[in-house]
Amino acid sequence: MSSLDTQNLSLTEHHDRYDAIDPASTLAGSASGKVIFITGGSRGIGQATAVAFAEAGAKAVYVTARSEAELEKTRDLVRQANPNTQCAYSTCDVTSAARVKAAVSDCVEEFGGIDVADANAGYLDHWTKIGESDPESWWRTWEVSVRGVYHVIRFSLPHLIESAKRRAAEGSSGGHLILLSSIGAQALVPTASDYQTSKHAINRLCEFVNVDHGQDGIKCFAVHPGGVATGLGRNMPEERHVYLTDSPELAASFIVWLASGKADWATGRYLSANWDVEELTALKDEILRDDLLVNRLRTRA
């Protein structure tokens, strides 16, 4: 048994959207009245997430990325999925605090607030041993994956806290923060030092958001989106492409499920989009009792 096997839940695995997380059926209306802010929303998982929230009845979706042409495609797909969902976008490099702050402000000015923030932007160069790595490329992974995620957290939090308080008063759930992690966060694969350490940091950052702002009503999750054959995913060594078997709609639908409030009990934890959500929910008491799905140093009793 590998160390990774001991850090995964033995649940039924899914590779595409299924009934329990389908935004167009089971979760239809779950995003009604909500404003969704998504970075990295021009293609792949981010684009699929924008469409999924539209299917779930979101009031508005605001997407950012570096390519305006690709963002226009996302806007068109959102409109096709639900003509009643408004969509706006802005070009944004998440490594720039000023650009992320401006995008968040633009979203709030346009749509009146933010109920869900999805830090989806990522970066992955070709894997190589530390001693043979390019310092600029290695650190770029951290700049996008950690600094970029921090920027989204930092500037969306005041609006998410407001959403959480407002919706709690209404008897519903708001203030959801989704951080794109990876199963690689729990792995130790040779040549993957930049990517896997950055994702491990994301899991811990999620825990800190919960410690600092759980009392403010924030529900934060670090999400493994599955193995998706995005441009980023295909930068892994070719022998690992065999794991890229999941649709972007799986992660997108799982994120809509998280934002529906059905998993608020699991805030501050690492969750995999591959896990069957009904089986996951059945483990709620055990997960909370034993404080599972968080990063801890194991020592002798």
Please identify every residue annotated as catalytic: 195, 199
| DSSP assignment string, the chain | --TTGGGS----B-SS--GGG-TTTTTTTTTBT-EEEEESTTSHHHHHHHHHHHHTTBSEEEEEES-HHHHHHHHHHHHHH-TTSEEEEEE--TT-HHHHHHHHHHHHHHHS--SEEEE----------GGG--HHHHHHHHIIIIIHHHHHHHHHHHHHHHHHHHHHHHTS---EEEEE--GGGG---TT-HHHHHHHHHHHHHHHHHHHHHGGGT-EEEEEE---B--TTGGGS-GGGGGG--B-HHHHHHHHHHHHTTTTGGGTTEEEETTB-HHHHHHTHHHHHHTT-SS-------
